[in-house]
Amino acid sequence: MYQPENETFREGLDELAAHYKHIIQLLGEDPTREGLLKTPMRVAKAMQVLTRGYEMDAHKVLTDALFKEDYSQMVIVKDIDFFSLCEHHMLPFYGKAHVAYIPNGYITGLSKIARVVDIYSHRLQVQERMTLQIKECIEQTLHPLGVMVVVEAKHMCMQMRGVEKQNSITTTSDFSGAFNQAKTRQEFMNLIHKS
């Protein structure tokens, strides 16, 4: 969801920029230096874009493209790229989400599944909660026979600071309904890891 430069930003943008100016100063830099003059406003705008999910309703996204359909096999949208901000250090974590559901009389537009991931990832997050929120949104809105979500991500808070492990990947999953059966879960896992 590209946000052009002339798009209206949320309330509080100027105040946010003022705080970033103060932060730059507290870090030991001169916020009036030429290279940093516009940085507070740039960062404030970036943060509003990176947290735009707070003003979006993921349930409405799904219901806006809800269609009656008698399809009752697994629907998978895999390799959904996402970027989010860890709420503990406000550093990025990024990766791929894989989402499956088994319809129960209704389907939604495939792009809407990716939009749900986008909405929850554009908030201050932890990967575990984001995984649960995606699953619950689909479950509560579509009332499918089952939902499963797997999220694989790299966390900059682990790569840039602390343990500094650049190649570690964190995987989380959550599931309900038909996916409580090991055979159904395994079918999903096989399909998302197929080249």
Sign, CA torsion 20/21/25/26: negative
Select which of 22, 88, 143, 193 is catalytic.
Answer: 88
**d(C-alpha 89, C-alpha 112), whole Å:** 29
Is 127 annotated as catalytic? Answer: yes
Is 137 annotated as catalytic? Answer: no
Quote the radius of gyration of the chain (alpha carbons, Å): 20
Identity of the amino acid at 187 = E
Is 159 annotated as catalytic? Answer: no
Select which of 55, 87, 140, 186 is catalytic.
Answer: 87
User: Residue 7 is encoded by which pair of tokens?
Assistant: 């798009």
Length of the chain: 195
Select which of 19, 152, 157, 159 is catalytic.
Answer: 157
**d(C-alpha 142, C-alpha 39), whole Å:** 43
Select which of 86, 98, 137, 139 is catalytic.
Answer: 86
Is 164 annotated as catalytic? Answer: no
Is 157 annotated as catalytic? Answer: yes
**Residue 151: its H or E element:** strand 146-155
Select which of 19, 59, 89, 136 is catalytic.
Answer: 89
Is 86 annotated as catalytic? Answer: yes
**d(C-alpha 116, C-alpha 149), whole Å:** 12
Sign, CA torsion 138/141/142/143: positive
Select which of 122, 127, 137, 139 is catalytic.
Answer: 127
Is 88 annotated as catalytic? Answer: yes
Catalytically active residues are 86-89, 127, 155, 157
